Chains A and B, each alone.
Chain A
Amino acid sequence: MTGAYHDHSRARGNRPAAPATNTGPIDFGRRVAVLRLLGGRLSLRFDLRSLVTGVILLLSTAMIGAVSLASGKFPIPLADVFRALHGTAGDNIRMVVVEWRLPRLLLAFLLGAALGLSGAIFQSLTRNPLGSPDIIGFSAGTYTGALAVLLIFSGGYYETAAGALAGGIITAAAVYLLAYHGGAQSFRLIVVGIGISALLGALNAWMIRQADLQVAMSAAIWGAGSLNGLAFEQVWPVLLMLALIVPCLLILARPMRQLELGDDAAMSSGIHANRLRLMLMICGVALTAIVTAAAGPIAFVSLAAPQIARRVTRLAGVALIPSALVGGLLLTTADWAAQHAFGVQLPVGVMTVSIGGLYFLWLLLREARQ
């Protein structure tokens, strides 16, 4: 057929024709450690900076946690806090530390981590730091769903959570449908989401006004996003839901990273882009719903955590686990500050709104300048 007319000889000499020889470790521009076990059946590549960052984040959270277990109306020395956690303290101290303060601390961490995860998922899907559930209306949607259940059926945690999930999914579907215009571009999605978010805010306010005073009062307090008065009864369902969702996310993390390369590249490496997006969205909305049902809508943690995580780990794209750890640290810190920094107990949602609002403004200005 052909073949005779190529003049290979010239260029061939200075080209590495078959560079399969091992050229030493690959320089990733970051320190990595490789783990290979069981004759290669298990292999992992760790990013050392992320690993160290993760440990530091956990240690910081533990420190804030210890301080928040110690502080309150009955200050308890740190040594007694540890004894209480070991089960070797007196009954009174044990009750204050383990039964009053510990559940709140655990919830702050777990819910913060859930918010961080959910933010990371949506920021990865939209490839935009503004694309987080609290901005694009999904949080407001979960709140609407939860409010409806609370006001109309006066449901418990699971009913509220189901309502929140339904509200979130309906909102997500609505935002996507409205923003879809031959492929959902992230900017459209964000603008539509902000609009829907404002609409839902009005709807939520109206719903509260329609309810009778007592229910409305508690709904409004809850609506500010607060961990006040939470106990172990509220920890277990949250743990259970997270135990269902987090393993799914660990499996979805790798395809999610691949999807950040664009649909074409992701699909040509064997990913069902639309199916994956749907699964990630359900997980993300469910995580937001867990938080809304337990503590009301807590804004801005989802927005900020993934970006802070990105800056401290310097990883490409958004990473799930670092975002979760930053989210956990943010909410434990914010909750401690909300309880103790101003002499009065503020709902933690007020705290995150005021700090996060500044961050949001900065982010908007930066995006607008680009």
Chain B
Amino acid sequence: MTGGHDSAKGKLEAQGVTLRYDARTIAENLSVVIPDGSFTVIVGPNACGKSTLLRALSRLLVPSAGQVILDGKAIAGYPSKQVARTVGLLPQTSIAPDGITVADLVSRGRYPHQSFFRQWSQEDEVAVASAMAATQTTELSNRPVDELSGGQRQRVWVAMVLAQQTPILLLDEPTTFLDIAHQIELLNLCQDLNAAGRTIVAVLHDLNHACRYATNIIAMKDGTVIAEGPPAAIMTEKLVEDVFGLRCMIIEDPVSGTPLIVPKSGK
């Protein structure tokens, strides 16, 4: 095993990674453990490196120092399709080819399970059907993706990554474009998936959602982790001020009993 982190057992972790785009360094010597079976939510201001961290955790970005560990082994050492069967990523932006229908797009999530000879197995069909049912996109299945509303489209992209059926799911702002009901719907779905044994890592901008759903929060700023732990333990007025520069009051959420962040007006 790769020692160093005794606090939590991580299936997926970044060990002292330096992340950069060309000459621009986004994070230096960053270490993050995603506890196995957790619902981890990453929060932090815009451009602090949340998406960049997710890209590193899913091997899209190769760290220029340090390494990402998956199941006790450097992620770089795995065959890429095996990584894709273990870690699924919903990128912040994706492109739908012109005229592609919903079911066709969701089916593309099955790519890592397919091969030249196995292009559409029974399992593929079941996975796609249940991913669409879970995201309530079944009724949309025959519609061209470019004709959907932003929120419908977002649910289709989520369906695509669900169809990938990976034990670890990395979701970059999965609730953008969604109305409040669909946001809660999607977070509930994530919670169900988490309860069924999947590890979920989501970037969320809504701190109240983060506190309500996360079992573990990672608060980031300028490429470093400021705090990490269960919401009730780490979410303090000071942390919100440190990370976001926002003065606020924290009360108990009357519904869930989790921390509820109420911004104070003015500066």
B-contacting residues of A (Cβ < 8 Å)?
Answer: 1-8, 11-12, 15-20, 22-23, 25-30, 34, 36, 40-45, 127, 182, 251, 254, 257-258, 260-265, 267-272, 310, 314-317
Q: Please state if A262 and B95 are interface contacts (CB–CB under 8 Å).
A: yes
CB closest residue in chain A, given B101: A29
Chain B 161-175 interface 0/1 with A at a Cβ cutoff of 8 Å (1 = within): 000100000000000
Q: How far is the CA of A127 from the CA of B95 in the complex (A)?
A: 10
Q: Please state if A15 and B185 are interface contacts (CB–CB under 8 Å).
A: yes
Q: Please state if A34 and B120 are interface contacts (CB–CB under 8 Å).
A: yes
Cβ of B60 < 8 Å from any Cβ of A? yes
Cβ of B256 < 8 Å from any Cβ of A? yes
The 7 tightest CB contacts between A and B, nearest first, are A29-B142, A270-B84, A316-B100, A19-B133, A317-B97, A264-B91, A45-B120
Which residues from B are CB-within-8-Å of A314? 99
Q: Please state if A260 and B97 are interface contacts (CB–CB under 8 Å).
A: yes
Which residues from B are CB-within-8-Å of A2? 215, 230-232
CB closest residue in chain B, given A182: B22
Give how many B residues have a beta carbon under 8 Å from the other chain's beta carbons.
Answer: 75
Q: Please state if A43 and B108 are interface contacts (CB–CB under 8 Å).
A: no
Q: How far is the CA of A272 from the CA of B62 in the complex (A)?
A: 12
Chain B 116-132 interface 0/1 with A at a Cβ cutoff of 8 Å (1 = within): 11111110111011101
Q: Please state if B121 and A43 are interface contacts (CB–CB under 8 Å).
A: yes
CB closest residue in chain A, given B124: A43
Q: Please state if B103 and A26 are interface contacts (CB–CB under 8 Å).
A: yes
Minimal beta-carbon separation of B7 from chain A (angstroms): 12
Q: Please state if A265 and B94 are interface contacts (CB–CB under 8 Å).
A: yes
28 contacts between A and B (CB under 8 A): A1-B215, A5-B212, A5-B256, A6-B212, A16-B133, A22-B126, A23-B133, A26-B125, A29-B102, A34-B120, A43-B120, A45-B119, A251-B116, A254-B116, A254-B119, A262-B95, A264-B89, A265-B89, A265-B91, A265-B108, A268-B87, A269-B108, A270-B81, A270-B82, A270-B84, A270-B112, A316-B104, A317-B98
Which residues from A are CB-within-8-Å of B122? 36, 40, 43
- Most chain B CB atoms below 10 A, which of A15, A29, A268, A271: A268
Cβ of B74 < 8 Å from any Cβ of A? no
Cβ of B15 < 8 Å from any Cβ of A? no
- Given A7-B256, A41-B117, A258-B108, the answer on whether A269 and B164 have CB atoms closer than 8 Å is yes
Q: Which of the residues B119, B134, B230 comes within 8 Å of A44, measured between beta carbons?
A: B119
Which residues, 52 to 86 on B, are CB-close (under 8 Å) to A? 55, 58-60, 80-85
CB closest residue in chain B, given A315: B99
Which residues from A are CB-within-8-Å of B130? 18-20
Q: How far is the CA of A42 from the CA of B120 in the complex (A)?
A: 9
Minimal beta-carbon separation of B227 from chain A (angstroms): 15
Which residues from B are CB-within-8-Å of A182? 21-22
Chain A binding site: helix, strand, loop or mixed by DSSP? loop
Q: Which of the residues B102, B118, B132, B188 comes within 8 Å of A40, measured between beta carbons?
A: B118
Which residues from B are CB-within-8-Å of A127? 95, 97
Chain B 157-198 interface 0/1 with A at a Cβ cutoff of 8 Å (1 = within): 000100010000000000000000000110011011000100
Q: Which of the residues A36, A254, A260 comes within 8 Å of B95, measured between beta carbons?
A: A260
Q: How far is the CA of A317 from the CA of B100 in the complex (A)?
A: 7
Q: Please state if A26 and B128 are interface contacts (CB–CB under 8 Å).
A: yes
Q: Please state if B91 and A268 are interface contacts (CB–CB under 8 Å).
A: yes
A-contacting residues of B (Cβ < 8 Å)?
Answer: 21-22, 55, 58-60, 80-85, 87-89, 91, 93-104, 107-109, 111-112, 114, 116-122, 124-126, 128-130, 132-134, 138, 141-144, 160, 164, 184-185, 188-189, 191-192, 196, 212-213, 215, 230-232, 253, 255-258
Q: How far is the CA of A257 from the CA of B107 in the complex (A)?
A: 12
Minimal beta-carbon separation of A307 from chain B (angstroms): 11
- Given A3-B215, A316-B98, the answer on whether A26 and B129 have CB atoms closer than 8 Å is yes
Minimal beta-carbon separation of A363 from chain B (angstroms): 14
- Most chain B CB atoms below 10 A, which of A263, A270, A310, A314: A270
Known: A18-B130, A268-B84. 15 other contacts (CB 8 A): A5-B256, A6-B213, A7-B255, A17-B192, A19-B129, A19-B133, A23-B133, A26-B128, A27-B103, A30-B101, A36-B120, A261-B97, A270-B82, A316-B104, A317-B99
Minimal beta-carbon separation of A354 from chain B (angstroms): 28
Q: Please state if A268 and B103 are interface contacts (CB–CB under 8 Å).
A: no
Q: Please state if B121 and A40 are interface contacts (CB–CB under 8 Å).
A: yes
Minimal beta-carbon separation of B188 from chain A (angstroms): 5
- Given A1-B215, A43-B120, the answer on whether A11 and B129 have CB atoms closer than 8 Å is no
Q: Please state if B80 and A271 are interface contacts (CB–CB under 8 Å).
A: yes
Q: How far is the CA of A87 from the CA of B93 in the complex (A)?
A: 60
Q: Which of the residues A22, A29, A40 comes within 8 Å of B144, measured between beta carbons?
A: A29
- Given A11-B184, A268-B84, A270-B81, the answer on whether A29 and B103 have CB atoms closer than 8 Å is yes
Which residues from B are CB-within-8-Å of A258? 108, 111
Which residues from A are CB-within-8-Å of B93? 262, 264
Q: Please state if A269 and B112 are interface contacts (CB–CB under 8 Å).
A: yes
Which residues from A are CB-within-8-Å of B192? 15, 17
Which residues from B are CB-within-8-Å of A18? 130, 196
Minimal beta-carbon separation of B90 from chain A (angstroms): 9
Q: How far is the CA of A268 from the CA of B83 in the complex (A)?
A: 8
CB closest residue in chain A, given B87: A268
Q: How far is the CA of A344 from the CA of B109 in the complex (A)?
A: 55
CB closest residue in chain B, given A272: B80
Which residues from B are CB-within-8-Å of A317? 97-100
Q: Which of the residues A6, A15, A45, A264 comes within 8 Å of B189, measured between beta carbons?
A: A15
CB closest residue in chain B, given A268: B89
